[in-house]
Structures are given as structure tokens and as C-alpha cells.
Amino acid sequence: KVKSGGTNYFTRILLALQYAISLAAIIFAIAFYGNSLYQRDFDIGFDQNGVIIAYVENQGEFETYRNALLQNKDIVSVAGSQHSIFSSRYNDPVKHGSKQLEVDIIDVGDDYVKTMGLTLLEGRDFRKDSETDQKESIIVTKKFADSFGWDDPLGKEIIWMDSVKLYVTGVIKDVYTQGLWREMEPLMIRYTSRDKYSHVIVNGPVSKLPDINNFMEQQWKTIFPNRLYNGWYLNAGMAEAMTVNNNIVKMFAFMGLIALILSVTGLFTLVSLNIIKR
């Protein structure tokens, strides 16, 4: 009885393993919780929380829907575009001198920079209905300019599709076009005509956004009664990632709690064995 009650290396290893598991689970829970806070507060270069995007098929639909939405005083601005961050873009090589760079490209319309909450660091936004801007003007991100080593990017010329000459008229703060799951790519923004609009982009106060979304859906059903409303929150992807992170935090916290209880039980057993031995 005394022999079986004595402490040995096996019981000590088991106890140490229990504590190691509980400690690892608690550390992972804290790490994932910190990661979720980091993603929530990280500046990805635009207003991801105050924007709703819906899709239309042509210029006429865009203008009809936009005019209806502007009746809502809570809506700050409405913009149209052919592409948009998080929803669509394309990737092409561009050249400056002897250097070539693969960049993300989006074609946007009037007030896109303001509506998406992009920060203009240098230069200007596109001029409304400017044919010159449609043909040759671009707005680029700071990373785009840095990749080419430009200290003064305004007015710089790039070659696109081997023959199209484009000139930088504005520089915006860096943008994560694919969220935080992939490395940030250089971004080039071109100005497109209204007949190519396929996105309706709406900006409003975060606190009023659910009401704005309901208003958008009501107007949609009135204007397009035979089509389902397709509006979505721009931060839906980030919100999904936050949900996944929070679930991982809960999982590791639960594992840590169970492991801690087992460790306490093991410690009680070890103390009991020592008492029996003595």
C-alpha cells in the first residue's frame, strides 16, 4: 500500500504534461483573442464599416436607384463603379522605364474615393465627366508609387497593355484589396464612364447602416420588383473572420479550463499520495 502510494517519475510526468497542456491552451486563447482585436481595429485603408454595395445591370438602373436612395437623409453619399474593392478587380502588368509590376486595377466613377472613405495623400480626385481623365488619368496607392521608387509620383507616366500611356494624378493611402488574409498588392484606379456602372456604393453612419440597408431593400423592391435585393455590407467578410476568431478563442479557453481542472485534480492526487507515503 505504501509502495503504490509513493510518488514516482511517471506521476510527475503526467502532472507536468497536464499543466503544459493547460498553459498552452490558455496562451493560444490569449493569442487568438489579441489577433481578433488586431483585425477589428486594423486600418485597411478605407471605410469598411460604413458602406453597402448593391449590383445593377446598366446606367439607367443605376441612376433610377441612386435618385431614389438620395431621398434618405441618413445616406452621406452614393457612387457608381464598374469594379470595387472586395467585390471585383483585375490584375495586369504595368511598366515604367525598364521596370514592370503586376498591380490590381479597378475602374470607378464619380465620388468613389469619397464614398469608399479612401484617403487622398497627394494630387486630386477624378474630375466629373472628364474625357481626359477617362483616357489617361490614374490614382495609385502609396505602395504602387514606392514599388517604382517614386519620391514625387504626380505626373509620372506608366505604360499599360504595351501601348496605353497613363499619368498619375493622385496618390491614396495603401489599401488591402483582399482583406488581411493576403499580402497587400499595389492598386491602380481608373476613371470609367457611367454606361459601364455595375455597382451602387452607399456610405452612411455605422449606427444608421441597418436602417439604410432596410431602406435600400424597400426601394429595390419598388424599382426592381422581379429581382431579389442583392445589397451586402462591405465588412461582411471581416465580420465572418471575426466570428471564426472568436470561436477559436472560445475553443481554446474551454480546452484551457478543462486542462486546468485536470491539473488541479492531478495536483490534489499528488499531494494525497505524498501524505499517504509520509
**Alpha carbon distance 53, 85 (integer Å):** 10
Task: Using DSSP bridges, classify how beta strands 187-191 and 99-108 pair: parallel, antiparallel or unpaired.
Answer: parallel
Tell me which residue of 28, 33, 6, 197 sits closest to 112, measured CA to CA: 197
What pLDDT score was predicted for residue 7?
Answer: 55
Tell me which residue of 143, 149, 138 sits closest to 190, measured CA to CA: 138
pLDDT digits (tens, 9 = 90+) for 42-68: 888 888 889 999 999 999 999 999 999
196-219: average pLDDT: 94
What is the distance, to the nearest Å, from the Cα of residue 181 to the centroid of all Cα atoms in its chain? 9
pTM of the model: 0.77
* Confidence label for 238 from pLDDT (cuts 50, 70 and 90): low
Phi and psi (nearest 5°) for 239? -65, -40
What is the distance, to the nearest Å, from the Cα of residue 250 to the centroid of all Cα atoms in its chain? 23
What is the number of other CB atoms lying within 10 angstroms of the CB of residue 39? 16
DSSP annotation of 59 reads H
* Confidence label for 36 from pLDDT (cuts 50, 70 and 90): confident
